[in-house]
Amino acid sequence: MSTEPETAPPAPPLPKKRVAVVFVVAAVLWGIDLLTKQIAVSTLEGKQPVEFLGGLVYFQLVRNPGAAFSMATGLTWVLALVAVVVVVAIVWLARRLRSVGWAIGLGLVLAGALGNLTDRIFRAPGPLQGHVVDMISAFAPNGQGWAIFNVADSAICVGGVLIVILSLLGKDYDGSSTKDKKKAASE
């Protein structure tokens, strides 16, 4: 019979931090967004919508002073400020990330925020008033089938959906699971 006290098994090591994943995903998508906007401006300016995939997608240049679905068109500077807050929050949270899924999701949101913020700062009519370049119209030209959008908008949506799915599945940004936390609390 041993008189040594029972010790709990050591906790599993934490997953590696995923800061680099956030910034690589953000840099790649931000670059793609900037490139596609430049191509759209140089090839679609003053032209009719270009049908693609049998009318499933139309490419056309639209300069959007508002948010998604052209909401808040008079509040461009507020949208720019919100984007700055989002960027700062993601950079701050990135230091704590240990989940690859969350890192990808936040990287996508960061890329989208930076892409549209770049337009708001550097495009006409002026700093913090710039219009975002949109160029993809799904199902019909002129946004008649769906709102006209860009790569940054898509990145924000996909990143947001990924984060919601991870949250619903109980996967936390720190690599833990809410199911594991509940199990540990009940023991």
* Active-site position among 119, 134, 174, 180: 134
Distances (CA, A) of 133 to 46, 57, 58, 173: 14, 17, 15, 32
Specify whether 153 is catalytic. Answer: yes
Looking at the DSSP bridge assignments, the partners of residue 64 are: 132
DSSP bridge pairs for 62: 134
Q: CA-to-CA distance for 183 and 187, rounded, in angstroms?
A: 7
Whether 119 sits among the annotated catalytic residues: the reply is no
Residues paired with 118 in a beta bridge = none
Q: What is the CA radius of gyration of the chain?
A: 22
Rounded distance between C-alpha atoms, residue 117 and residue 114, angstroms: 5
SS3 139: coil
| Per annotation, catalytic residue among 119, 153, 172, 174 | 153
Structure tokens at 119: 């337009």
Contact 101, 166 (CB under 8 A): yes
Residues carrying an active site annotation: 134, 153
